[in-house]
Amino acid sequence: MQLFDTLVKYDYEQVVFCQDQTSGLKAIIAIHDTTLGPALGGCRMWTYASEEAAITDALRLSRGMTYKAAAAGLNLGGGKTVVIGNPKTDKSEALFRALGRYIEGLHGRYITAEDVGTSVSDMDLIHQETRYVTGVSQAYGSSGDPSPVTALGVFRGLQASVREVYGSDDLGGKTVAVQGLGHVGYDLSRQLHEVGAKLIVTDISDTMVKRAVEEFGATAVAPQDIVAAECDVFAPCALGAVISDDTIPLLRCKVVAGSANNQLAEERHGDLLHEMGILYAPDYVINSGGLINVADELEGYNADRAQKKVEGIYDIMRKIFAMSRELHIPTYQAADRMAEARIAAIKQVRSTFLPVSRSLLHRA
């Protein structure tokens, strides 16, 4: 990897390499863009195959957080931390407190949170060294499990998607195929059931599938069959890269809208969906409820305020679909353009206002 070439190509601001010999900490903090505000992004702990793979993941994820925060209308930028290590065997108080000191040293340019391989208790350890952390335990003012709020955002985005295709956001009688019944997928299924949607579900856990069948009257299918299920909406709520050369020919839906990250295996698959007349709800927008919720903690968490902001995903999706129609571009491109336009506008405001401010100070 030519690191600086990559930083220049995608305009990254800063990469911090964190090492602590005593605790065994090896981590990378990537800050992509702070135009809109401090960079916020989770702390991921993983057994990376190489240091280069860890750096690549930190860069990719931090840039994704910039777009997610911008599209969600948050005054936050994008960042990410990756810790190289086995989350089952390598965690310690010393490791996370050492990381907390590195985060504190950034003086608020970056705020961390829970992510893959880390937990609320890990965030509490980081919190002992810095206030620049969210997703801590509720004793410290956290909002708690973000899954129900994330599911609410996906539900509202799904309603907006159905309205775009069918002319009404009424989900009663619509068939939704939910791939994955984890915390978000299961709660989404509950909300869909409550408004009269018909559910087709699958999961690698037979227990979760059985529960959905019993509680929601869902129809169960094998994991390999869910993509080809005949439905109005296909909702990927498990692994990423589910929309690929192999799966697109199997789709029998009009809408793809779910909580999974990185649903498109490649950007061109978003182009293919567009050409086929299948509406795609950009994943980093429709699943941004968790980020919106945790960002509210920075203001002193208020559940009603956070829920109102998450409900706004409906209107954000409507704007993306309108841009897609007007410009004749795929929805994923419309989402990117909307995020980029917001960042560019604020960057222009700052570039024109700051010199004036400084000149006034000099005159004074």
Between CA 111 and CA 43 the distance in angstroms is 10
Q: Which two tokens stand for residue 287?
A: 């699943």
Q: Contact 201/223 with Cβ under 8 angstroms?
A: no
Q: Which two tokens stand for residue 193?
A: 């059931």
Q: What is the DSSP letter of 91?
A: -
Q: Which two tokens stand for residue 354?
A: 């700051």
Between CA 135 and CA 155 the distance in angstroms is 22
Q: How many CB atoms lie within 10 A of CB 29?
A: 27
Residue 265 CA: distances (Å) to CA of 22, 271, 272: 40, 12, 12
Class of residue 229 by CB neighbours under 10 A (exposed 0-12, middle 13-18, buried 19+): buried
Q: Which two tokens stand for residue 159?
A: 């309603």
Q: What is 190-259 written as a DSSP string?
A: HHHHHTT-EEEEE-S-HHHHHHHHHHH-PEE--GGGSTT-B-SEEEE-S-S--BSTTTGGG-B-SEE--S
Residue labelled with tokens 């087709």? 200
80 is catalytic: yes
Between CA 28 and CA 226 the distance in angstroms is 37
- Report strand pairing: 175-179 vs 233-236: parallel
Q: What is 173-208 written as a DSSP string?
A: T-EEEEE--SHHHHHHHHHHHHTT-EEEEE-S-HHH
Q: Which residues pair with 220 in a beta bridge?
A: 201
Q: How many CB atoms lie within 10 A of CB 277?
A: 8
Q: Which one is catalytic: 68, 80, 91, 254?
A: 80
Cα-based torsion angle of the residue sequence 337, 340, 345, 347 in order, rounded to the nearest 10 degrees: -170
CB-based contacts of 170: which residues, under 8 Å, 6+ apart?
162, 195
| Rg (the chain; Cα; Å) | 21
Active site residues: 80
